Amino acid sequence: MRKRVLLCVCAFAIATPALADQLDGKVGSIDRSGKTFTFGAQWLSATATYKTTPTTVFISGATPTTFDAVKIGHPVQVDYHVVGPDSIADRVIIK
């Protein structure tokens, strides 16, 4: 029984990166001091807040950039993962 539980835990740990999601939409608002932004997916009527971290990658076109390049109304693609109640942006591509 313990081996089965351990196997399930290991399988979940390996599969966790596959749980990351990707959405396209527009930036709704920005909290520069909190390093967060709201984002509305094109097919959703609701918005969600995404936190950024020091490891979040920002790209404008093909050029690496920073959080400062994120502007309200800009179309972006966000790769993110969920930690508890928070959506954490892993990569933000500014289109």
Alpha carbon of 65 to those of 57, 58, 61, 62: distances in Å?
Answer: 8, 5, 10, 9
pTM as predicted: 0.73
Q: Is the pLDDT of residue 86 over 90?
A: yes
Going from N- to C-terminal start, the domains of the chain cover 21-94
The pLDDT tens digits of the residues spanning 25-83 come to 899 999 999 999 998 876 666 788 999 999 999 999 899 999 999 999 999 999 999 99
Burial tier of 60 (Cβ tally within 10 Å: 0-12, 13-18, 19+): middle
The tokens describing 46, both together, are 């609701």
If you ran DSSP here, which 8-state letter would residue 35 be given?
T
Which residue carries 């076109």 as its tokens?
Answer: 61
**Considering the domain 21-94 in this protein, what is its CATH number?**
2.40.50.320
